[in-house]
A and B are shown apart, each in its own frame.
Chain A
Amino acid sequence: MARNGSGTMSIVNTFVAGNTITAAGHNQNNTDIAAEITNSVAVDGQSVLTGQLKAASGTVSLPGYTFGADLDCGWYRIGANNLGLALNGAKVVDYSTTGVAVTGAFSSSGAMTVTSGGLTITAGGQVITAGQISHADGTTGAPSYSFTNDLDSGLYRVGANNFRFACNAADVLDIGTNGLVVTGAISASTSVTATTALSGATAAGAMVATQAQQETATATNLLVSPGRQHFHPGMAKGWAEIDASAGLEANYNVSSITDVGAGQFTVNWGTDFSGGFYNAQATAVNTPSGAGASTFVAQIPNTMAAGTTGVATLRMSDFSAQDASHTMVTVFGDHA
């Protein structure tokens, strides 16, 4: 009589006192016992199970499937469809219908593939790889490298050798083999060093010298723009070239020239100086012909005012005011 399906085995032939024990009955019992011993698992590993191996559920400290030399290590049943792997009496892996949860570090010597559902790291720590982490290209609105709380900001690939940083679904930085292209302002709290030319449409901010800085003229680390270079005290604040007919040939910051007489002019400046004290220079170009005179000296008579400078060109032979072929006037100073 084999086991009854629940594992219970019963004796085929029962012998009672006074009855003859027959060879057939005795052999039948032995055959039955031998068959069930054969049908049992040999502890030395000879047997191969043909049915399920059913263990007790066990606990995390005494797993159902364990080892003689390490009784707190093995598999145990946590609950319905929930299997645990215990090591040293503690759960290290929890298998359930929703996935696998590992307590402690997880390592893989081969490739690991996530086919759906994503990969989430819920607590701090580092993701360290000795190889590359590669992503899909992504887009401006959904960059491949992004942030849980800001999914439209991050890094994505535009095309071959070209990737961009997006912020709020808009490109802000383009990096390609030709360099960087930034959309919007760039600011730096420390120095920026370029080993080749630094170019841009305009320069702005504190790097551009202000009028006050130009006038102070001590900074050696600021850009001087064309519209402010003239604020430097060493720069001319006005100049004029006057021809022999008292005409104004070329000038800067001159409103007009007044011809007062032979060799006498008043230069009317476009803007006033801060007072009557400024530096005016005048030179006269000799007249190549004329009544016995060809050499001139230019003078600034004592008629300097905030907005006008008198000029006289004197003929050297008699020191009378006469027209030189050209008269040049230059002024330096501070404006009102």
Chain B
Amino acid sequence: MPSCIVSTRPDGGVSITHPSAEIMTIFTNGGAPKDYFLGITRDGQIASFVKRGIREEVAVKWMDALLMGGLTDAEAYELIRDKDTKPEWTGNELWDRTEISTDRWFRDAWKRSHNGGPIYVDLNIARRIQFREIQTAVHVENERRKKDFDLWESQFECDIAAVREMIRRKNEPLELRRVWPEGLT
């Protein structure tokens, strides 16, 4: 199973870097076929990498791997980490992709320690997400009804203050997710 690099941003947010299968194949075999990688020059690429903040040794290693391959999987992931994650990110860890939740409802609330470790949901942010999603759904529903021949006078009524209060009282992501006005799709 492919792996990905999980990192923590300075604000505690989570960035997940998914290496391409193509680059892994190139790095762990004999490099890219001749002329495969576009109009590049080794020195030009290294200079460009360095200019945008990538360490020169990483840039050199990257170009050598691109042209000649020969890395182990671990070395390839390490090189991708060094090039594609930002220096200010911390807690870089190699995770199996199956370990990443496929439920991205609260993706923007995913947080993680700067030292690494598991991803958790920041409830304060999640509550705002849930509130925004309900408001958006109400808005879309009412917009839909306005254009409906039978429902144009019947707007969806929602006690937003009550909803907000319910959201505020939830302390677990799954419970929070279940807060949803009845009848609203």
Q: Is A10 an interface position by the 8 A CB rule? A: no
Say which size band chain A's interface belongs to.
35 or more
Residues 159-201 of A, flagged 1 when their CB comes within 8 A of B and 0 if not, give 0000000000000000000000000000000000000000000
A-B contact count (CB 8 A): 146
Q: Which B residues touch A321, using CB under 8 A?
A: 108
Complex Cα spacing A273 to B140, Å: 41
A320 touches B132 (CB 8 A): yes
Of residues 122 through 166 on chain B, the ones whose CB sits less than 8 Å from some CB of chain A are: 132-141, 143
Q: Is B169 an interface position by the 8 A CB rule? A: no
B66 touches A261 (CB 8 A): no
Chain B residues at the A interface, C-beta cutoff of 8 Å: 5, 13, 15-23, 33-41, 44-45, 47-49, 51-52, 54, 66, 80, 83-85, 97, 100, 102, 104, 107-108, 132-141, 143, 185
Q: Is A317 an interface position by the 8 A CB rule? A: yes
- Point out the residue from B33, B41, B136 that lies within 8 Å of A318, measured CB to CB: B136
B140 touches A251 (CB 8 A): no
Q: Are A334 and B23 CB-contacts (below 8 A) given A255-B83, A258-B16?
A: no
Residues 309-336 of A, flagged 1 when their CB comes within 8 A of B and 0 if not, give 0000001011011010000000000111
Complex Cα spacing A227 to B40, Å: 12
Complex Cα spacing A322 to B23, Å: 27
Q: Which A residues touch B108, using CB under 8 A?
A: 261-262, 321
A336 touches B37 (CB 8 A): no
Residues 210-236 of A, flagged 1 when their CB comes within 8 A of B and 0 if not, give 010001000000000101101100000
Task: Indicate the member of B40, B44, B139 with the most A CB atoms within 10 Å.
Answer: B40
B20 touches A255 (CB 8 A): yes
Q: Is A102 an interface position by the 8 A CB rule? A: no
Complex Cα spacing A253 to B66, Å: 11
In the assembled complex, 28 residue pairs joining A and B whose CB atoms fall closer than 8 Å, in A order, are A211-B39, A227-B33, A231-B39, A238-B38, A244-B104, A246-B104, A253-B22, A253-B38, A256-B19, A256-B23, A258-B17, A258-B18, A260-B15, A262-B104, A268-B80, A272-B44, A274-B48, A291-B134, A291-B136, A292-B140, A305-B52, A306-B48, A307-B49, A307-B54, A308-B84, A318-B135, A320-B132, A335-B39
A215 touches B39 (CB 8 A): yes
Q: Which A residues touch B185, using CB under 8 A?
A: 292
Task: Indicate the member of B20, B52, B97, B137 with the most A CB atoms within 10 Å.
Answer: B20
Nearest chain-B residue to A258 (Cβ)?
B17
A335 touches B22 (CB 8 A): no
A274 touches B44 (CB 8 A): yes
B137 touches A258 (CB 8 A): no
Q: Which A residues touch B23, using CB under 8 A?
A: 254-256, 270
B17 touches A268 (CB 8 A): yes
Distance in angstroms from B4 CB to nearest chain A CB is 8
- 9 cross-chain pairs, A with B, having the tightest CB-CB distances, nearest first: A292-B140, A227-B35, A292-B137, A272-B48, A336-B48, A268-B84, A262-B107, A336-B44, A259-B16
Task: Indicate the member of B13, B18, B37, B83 with the most A CB atoms within 10 Å.
Answer: B18
Q: Which A residues touch B34, using CB under 8 A?
A: 227
